[in-house]
Amino acid sequence: MTITMTPIFAKAYPPEEVFFTADDCENRNEPTKVLLCTPEYFEVKEGNNVYMQNNIGRVNKEKAKEQWNHLHTLYLQLKSAEIIEDVFVVDGAEDFEDMVFCANQSFPWTTWGGEKIVVMSNMKHESRQNEVVYFEDFYKDHGYKIFNIQSRYHFEGMGDMVPHPAKRLLYGGYGLRTDKQVYDEISRMLDTPILLLELINENFYHLDTCFLPLNANEVIIAPGAFSDESLVIIKKMFEAVYEIPFHEATDGFACNAHIVYGHKSKSAAIIQKNNPVTLNILQQNSFKVLETDTSEFIKSGGSVFCMKMMVY
């Protein structure tokens, strides 16, 4: 007798409807290329998150450029080491001071057949809404099929929707930037189940500020970021859940590290410097860990993960 696995239906799952584990979901290849956006117009102009509120007009632009250049250099080194396949750069546009955070304007994915697809974001703040078209142009040039959200609900791309490593399974953060109601439409576009995770602390306004999967079994989270029901789901999906100190998650943006699930099965991690507890967890996992300083970008509420997009 052959046993066939029923595919997990593509829809948005509230905690009470999650009767499967990540193992029940299909396997998936990780993207292998990095997209960055240059920082020449980066600054903090308004208080769209708690970090920005204390830092309006306080970005040292020269220092920001140096920090961005260092991050760019690290990615070029990962390319030389064949951990990633390529590094693309989109030019930042005048008047779009947050465009450098290129995790937010889109969510690239592939179909079951391997076709490249992308959902373009519907950003909450007016100051960011028109960033999206610049990235749409990038995806058009790179052969993606583009999806636009048809409803009025907000969605902030990879900032709020994070994949389970190597699985066709997504986590959709909501409550502060992205609307919960948007995820049914997105799950249909991507033909992939999305587990809803409620964010309840304004220090962790995007899922990528408090949720960092290391591999298919282990995840790092920030304390106090999730509702109790959402925490139950995270513990159901990952064998090990590491909670890091609050100050590493907020001052150090440690959950916003970038785990590069490498090309040719090599992996690496890039993380904001001075996060010893998180660094130790990554090193125990035998990642090649690269530290960098993104302090000027943390003034705007973003670090490494927000400053890049993995693309196919």
> 15 or 177, CB closer to ligand ARG?
177
Please state the closest distance from residue 208 (CB atom) to ligand ARG, in A.
5
Q: What are phi and psi of 101, to 5 degrees?
A: -85, 80
Residue of 36, 84, 98, 190 that binds ligand ARG (CB under 6 A): 98
> 56 or 232, CB closer to ligand ARG?
56
Please state the closest distance from residue 2 (CB atom) to ligand ARG, in A.
43
The residue range among 35-43, 164-172, 228-236, 296-304 that interacts with ligand ARG, by the rule CB under 6 A, is: 296-304
> 98 or 198, CB closer to ligand ARG?
98
By rule CB under 6 A, what string of x and - marks binding of each residue 236-275 to ligand ARG? ----------------------------------------
Contact flag: residue 108 with ligand ARG (CB under 6 A): no
> 198 or 208, CB closer to ligand ARG?
208
Residue of 43, 131, 198, 208 that binds ligand ARG (CB under 6 A): 208
Contact flag: residue 39 with ligand ARG (CB under 6 A): no
How many alpha carbons fall within 13 Å on the CB side of residue 267? 16
Q: Which residues bind ligand ARG (CB under 6 A)?
A: 48-49, 52, 98, 101, 103-104, 128, 159, 206, 208-209, 300-302, 306
